[in-house]
Structure 1
Amino acid sequence: MRYHDMTIEAASATLERTPDKRRVGGFSVRVLASPAGEMRPEDAATVSYDDKALQLSLQQLETRALDRAGLVALGRTLAGLLLPPKAAGALAGAGDLLAASLLAIGPDDGLRLRLRLPPQLAVLPWNRDHTGMRAQFDRWEDPVFEPVRTIALPMRQPLAAGFDVSYLVAHDFVDPLGRSVDPARIAAFHFTSSYGTNYETTDLAPRWLRGIHVVRGQQGLAASSVAYAVESVLIDGANVVNESQQRFATGPGERWRIQLQLYSARFVARDALFGTPAGTALSLTFPDGQVETRTLGADATETFEGLARGQYSVKLDAPGMAGITPAAISHDQEVRLLVLSYLDMS
């Protein structure tokens, strides 16, 4: 069978956090070449997707938890992103050129889609590899550094070739009690490899990571395992892990379970002299400066769950003198807020 190429480019990838803390991804799609023609740069179509929902589907795919309906839905989502409708005012769209290309080629020919993707989109399963493992040529055993070479046969001695092995690695974020943490809360994720490679990302989808690196030793080529350490995970402006404390390897089906330092704090507002409940509301300022205000009940207590380890400040709305109270959250704790009421000062 003779194949014809249809080259599709995805560019200008973005990933943004909305005010309601949703993660929305987007990119532009353009057909660079096809049997039916190409799209002009100004005809590129912009698509967007719910990153949290897509990541959930990808995690279910990796763990074989996605049923047939889920697989069909994921496939339709990816097809809709790759072959969006024609943009307003455009001469053609990717879907139009696909249909036209299928009509243009002969009945015994095939159409092959070639994708040009930025790194942020390369982890999506456009061409699904169920092994979760990839091998890439690294070096020859002898001092030849060109990956392509001519070898004269027969050879006087064996020639070894070394391949690095990468695995598709997923990760789960949990609190100290092992409960799942919503990935939408994570603003940035930074980890390093034992070979000094830095990975700083906001994309929490499964990613290909090198697990075996080929090195040249005294006895020839040898396999060296690559380890990884988590350096930081940012939530609400605070790093919720200890640097390099959590270490992981890679392998088939590997999932990193990363524990985050998230705690609960119970704020108790009391009269400084009489110890009675005091205050009608409190405002909690987070490490990144955002402020959350809550109304207090009759007992003048309020509990915040899942607070990132870090420095906070609390302002109490109460008659009398109630200053700003600093609070260093490093474990589940109770924070007392004292009010010097007008009665206390009379």
Structure 2
Amino acid sequence: MSVTGYVVGLPIFCDSGYIVLSGLNRGLARQTGTTMALMATSLAAGLYAVHCLVPPHPGAAAATETLGADFGRVILYGMLVAIPTACSGWLWARFAVRRLPSPGQMTGEDSPSVVPSRLPSLLLSVLPVAVPILLISIRSFTPAEGGHPALRLVQAAGMPEAALGIGILLALMSKRRWKRTDLNALLRSAIEKAGDILLIIGAGGAFGALIARTDLAGHLAGNDIVGSMGIFFPFLVAAVLKTAQGSSSVAVITSATMVLPVLPALGLDHETGKVFAVLAMGAGSMMVSHANDSYFWVISRFSGVGMATMLRVYTVATFIMGSVAIGAICLLSLFI
């Protein structure tokens, strides 16, 4: 599941990717008897690593544009750094679940149990997962501006909201007759899961906009201590912003505006330095994911893992992932 998250997460937001793959993740947990906390963190780590480090995800893409770094090198180096980063999250999860006081929730017992009398065909079972992934992936590789109606249709269908909506319709088609009570239970559960997440996203975005309005870059540009920190300065700025307001994308975008004026003082005002500055901000935006992060609640709600277990396993995993990522970036910089 960690490898699946890494591959699927390259063109897809981690939130959308986790929602699409959560059913597969729960099914594998049931069949293999694996603790859901391990399965959830493994999938989440693969998605999260590439989301924070690799364009075309919004944070990394915006930072690359702001700093004027080379997109190709950011993508290539980001994919390389994301491999040990995702592995570290998975390894920590394997270690952490052994220390849990109880096995934890295996399959997300809070989800309504709707068992059809006749299972759908393999094609109908795969389409709700495969079609949204395919639509979002195609959108990532098509030009954003195009006058041809087909391009506009691809852009519209590939938006995460539209793609997941199409996946929902395909999932509903897998059962010929729906009882009103079953359908109401599914919709009620979906609203309960999504409501809290939307509130957290709104609050985090508002706080991020407030931070962006402050003129922190002007205060930092003339500071001598900043110049001695090198690549660790963009990492620390992104880490502080991420921990404070929850959104990795907002943390990287805000950090890029703060780091740009001090690139000469940091010794990163050259092509390679800009690439590693972007990657360092991506590494910082991983740590620490906790209760103010919408992705934290997406994982918790769609896996059925409680908050205490999430903090002990997933949150610590994000701290380790960020540390491993900045270590891999420093190691990579020695050879390039």
TM-score grouping bracket, smaller chain normalisation: under 0.3
| Higher strand proportion | 1
TM-score for both structures, normalised by structure 2: 0.25
TM-score for both structures, normalised by structure 1: 0.24
| Higher helix proportion | 2
